[in-house]
Amino acid sequence: MHTHLYRRARMTTDQEIFVVMDGLDDRFMAAFANYPDKKFVMVTGKCETPGLDDQALAVLVATTSHIITGYVDAGAEYEHPGEDYEPVDEDDDPDDGDYLDEVIDGTEEERFRKLLAVLEKGMVWSWLIVHDADEYTEDWWIKQGFTSVAPPEGIDPDKAVLVLSRGNLPASPYDILRRERLSWDKDKHRNPEHPPRHPSPRDN
């Protein structure tokens, strides 16, 4: 997988990533739009697999203030649905698509680890906070040394965003998120000015 670190990033910085990721669901858009007035860095991953060279594969987005705001992986879009797949109609033939016969670019968790390593090495950051992480990635973050942060008193855990942290934070994660004006409340964070993000298929 080819990777690239953009030290100054917007949603449209990499057009291939933008088109593919924005078309999957709105988690990619939310990684930027739910953090107004922030500056961003972005790590992109693209296929090295023959026949899919340079196809957008994965992206990790963070603010320049050490807050990871989103990770989106498009790898499943290139995986063959399997022999048991039943086409919706005669024109829907999985063998006509661009699918991987084998995962040459690694598993989704391997791609996640690689993008995280590129971010940390490139930015030389000693601490990180993940804000509004997808629940299905929580174990991946923990395997990389992150710790889940319980929501503060008064916030219903079932209605709180998932927050994790790692490293020698300059203050408590609560103080840092307060300073960054980031909410623990899902509904408040997922600004009604923007459509709520669709649930990740992995959340179920």
Work out whether the CA dihedral 172, 176, 178, 182 comes out positive or negative: negative
pLDDT per residue as tens digits for the range 31-51: 999 999 999 999 999 988 776
- Cβ burial of 87 (10 Å; 0-12, 13-18, 19+) is exposed
The structural domains of the chain, ordered by start, are: 2-81+96-203 (3.40.630.30)
Determine the pLDDT at residue 161: 96
Give rounded-to-5 percent helix, strand, coil for the chain.
30, 25, 45
pLDDT per residue as tens digits for the range 84-123: 444 444 544 444 444 444 445 778 899 999 999 999 999 9
Determine the pLDDT at residue 28: 93
pLDDT per residue as tens digits for the range 46-81: 988 776 777 888 999 999 999 999 999 987 666 544
Determine the pLDDT at residue 129: 98
